[in-house]
Amino acid sequence: MHASTVTSAAPVAQLDPSRMAQLEQVLAKVTGRAQTILRELHDAQALFGGWLPGSALRRIAAYLRATRRRLRRHWSSTTCSAPTWSAAGSSAPASTARARCAAATRQVGRAQRTVGLCARLHHAGRCVTLEAVRCLGLCDRAPAALRNNVRHAPATADTLFDGSPAPAQLRIGGLVKVALTNVGVVDPTSLADYRAQGGMAALRKVLREMSPTQVIEHMKASKLVGRGGAAFPAGLKWEYAARNPRPRYVICNADESEPGAFKDRVLMDGDPFRVIEGLLIACYAVGAEHAFIYVRGEHRLGYERFSQAVEQLDQAGYLCGQSVDGPFACNIEVRRGAGAYVCGEETALMESIEGKRGFPRLRPPYPVEAGLWGHPTVINNVETLAKVPSIIMHGPIWYNALGTSESAGTKLFAVSGSVQRPGVYETPFGMTLRHLVYDLAGGLPEGRTIQGVLTGGAAGTFLTAEHLDVPLTFEHFRKVGGTIGAGTIMVFDDTVDMADVLARIGGFFAHESCGKCYPCQMGTQRQAEILARRAQGDRRREDLHDLQELAATMTDASICGLGQAAATAIVSAHTRWPMLFE
């Protein structure tokens, strides 16, 4: 995916006293001090047009009782697209543009587009600096750009600077829609519209007819497993947390930030009320009175949609009421991340919510035992929670009958790359990879053949054309060396340079490593260096041995899943295409 973030140069007037007065109003809303550092930085940066002058940075640091060094380090440890800092006394910010081309859609021509954009800006006398980001979650609409929190996809120089962005087109489909039922049907900003499609009926049923224990047993019988990649049974996770002392928390993980992954973005943008309804049901079952929705920083629209939805639900009385088990009350807080892939890991996500740097924790203890502030915490993916209302309304037997004995229900697949109709498709487990790629996603361009399919995202594994008739299930993919993961499917035709794809995967993990543990910090950097050098044609005899040794070390010794899976795609590529490593 080709993605750019563009912030136009702000006028000198933005440094007038009124801006600092508005900053004081932003800071006056602070309730949790250190726990809201990211929110204050986001709000202040938006106030000054995408940058932070020195005077504003000093004031924020003083108010939060933190040093400027700490603010910089905190932000840089939780973001892949840092803010533009300006020295005190500077009359105007440095305008910023960020660009990225990820593995899935290298064929969009990143270099040519970037050069063309630079030439256009230079000719027009625009003062803009191009800066790289990892991903904007718009892999189905590449090339993509972000300017002043406005998404442009597909992006051109004309739409970036001289026009409005093209209207977003939701490319969705599938045989049986459960999580996608309302996407494209309801107005995502209207609670009334959501209710007209049966929304909030599941929560009403739970509160009036079921005890928390019955809800948990319902979810266990459905065989729903996490849709964020780990595939842990959702009902068991709820049960483990409910066994532990109060207070308890529930977190919706909306920090989708891997190249090729955009299925959660579709749910956030298109049906936020459904996700929150599932979250409220989880809170009731677990006995949590406080919940968080942690949204990836680049998904500004999703953040706004969730915030609006929570406000409407609060005003309508859905966040408090009576149930068969007594009074029900839940406070939902929407938090915005800053683009760090590692914060998708559940313990790093909790550290960020607590106002700390986004570093993963050692486990055990697990979050269901000691999560947020040391209390039992359930963390579920956006797609997981979006499945809950339908399971409650139609029953667990209905849901698990949609899939296979070992892979129950439906799955959202984000398909991108060399296909005619990139998008999000929901299909019952058991359909073949061929059906997904050729029937739903439209197949490859005429005359092209499949070279490889990266399943499970950048941390996934490669399949080839001989695997097209393999059923899309956890059990069948395990047998052939594939990975379902979060449902990311990147298709590469015979024109794609796979050595370049591997180099970009290596670069992604090297950039996103938080640096807490040396095996990951040093291993991802060294892996990226070798792969980048080989992509340029400099291939050495010892490279394969070094890559295998790095893979073993990172897998065995890294603290979290980022380092443990950073070499998975590289090892898989060696299995499929040994000639790449000769």
Q: How confident is the model at residue 142 (pLDDT cuts 50, 70, 90)?
A: confident
Q: Is the pLDDT of residue 455 over 80?
A: yes
Between 264 and 74, residue with greater pLDDT: 264
Give the span between the Cα atoms of 572 and 562, in whole angstroms: 16
Residues 105, 115 contacting (CB under 8 angstroms): no
Between 122 and 510, residue with greater pLDDT: 510
Please return the burial class of 317, using the count of CB atoms within 10 Å of its CB with bins 0-12, 13-18 and 19+: exposed
Q: What end-to-end distance do the CA atoms of the chain give, in Å? A: 28
DSSP-assigned beta bridge partners for residue 51 = 84
Q: What is the pLDDT of residue 368?
A: 98
Percent of the chain with pLDDT over 70: 83
Q: Which of 23-27, 59-63, 71-75, 212-216 has the highest mean pLDDT?
A: 212-216
Q: Is the pLDDT of residue 6 over 60?
A: no
Q: Is the pLDDT of residue 104 over 50?
A: no
Q: Which of 21-25, 174-178, 324-328, 461-465 has the highest mean pLDDT?
A: 461-465
Q: Is the pLDDT of residue 3 over 70?
A: no
Between 453 and 109, residue with greater pLDDT: 453
Question: What's the rounded mean pLDDT across residues 5-24?
Answer: 61
Question: What's the rounded mean pLDDT across residues 142-170?
Answer: 74
Per the structure block, which two tokens stand in for 563? 């380092």
Q: What is the pLDDT of residue 297?
A: 86
Q: What is the Cα 56 distance to its own chain's centre?
A: 30
Q: How confident is the model at residue 348 (pLDDT cuts 50, 70, 90)?
A: very high
Element (H, E) at 72: helix 68-76
Q: Is the pLDDT of residue 202 over 80?
A: yes
Q: What is the pLDDT of residue 52?
A: 73
Q: What is the pLDDT of residue 484?
A: 97
Q: Is the pLDDT of residue 79 over 90?
A: no
Q: How confident is the model at residue 75 (pLDDT cuts 50, 70, 90)?
A: low
Cβ neighbours for 266, distance < 8 A, ≥ 6 positions apart: 170, 172, 180, 183, 412, 424
Q: What is the pLDDT of residue 98?
A: 43
Q: What is the pLDDT of residue 435?
A: 97
Give the span between the Cα atoms of 189 and 174, in whole angstroms: 24
Question: What's the rounded mean pLDDT across residues 79-94?
Answer: 34
Angle at which helices 54-63 and 68-76 cross, to 10° = 100
Q: What is the pLDDT of residue 36?
A: 66
Q: Is the pLDDT of residue 26 over 90?
A: no
Between 56 and 359, residue with greater pLDDT: 359
Question: What's the rounded mean pLDDT across residues 300-320?
Answer: 96
Between 344 and 2, residue with greater pLDDT: 344
- CA distances 503 to 136, 456, 570, Å, are 19, 17, 9
Looking at residue 363, the DSSP 8-state letter turns out to be S
Question: What's the rounded mean pLDDT across residues 538-564?
Answer: 96
Average pLDDT, the chain: 86
Q: What is the pLDDT of residue 133?
A: 64
Q: How confident is the model at residue 162 (pLDDT cuts 50, 70, 90)?
A: low
Q: What is the pLDDT of residue 148?
A: 67
Least confident of 114-118, 393-397, 435-439, 504-508: 114-118
Q: Is the pLDDT of residue 15 over 60?
A: no
3-state secondary structure of 412: strand
Question: What's the rounded mean pLDDT across residues 234-258?
Answer: 97
Question: What's the rounded mean pLDDT across residues 475-501?
Answer: 96
DSSP letters of 76-89?
HTSBSS--EE--TT
Q: Is the pLDDT of residue 85 over 50?
A: no
Give the span between the Cα atoms of 30 and 355, in whole angstroms: 13
DSSP letters of 487-506?
SEEEEEETTS-HHHHHHHHH
Q: Is the pLDDT of residue 188 over 70?
A: yes
Between 289 and 1, residue with greater pLDDT: 289
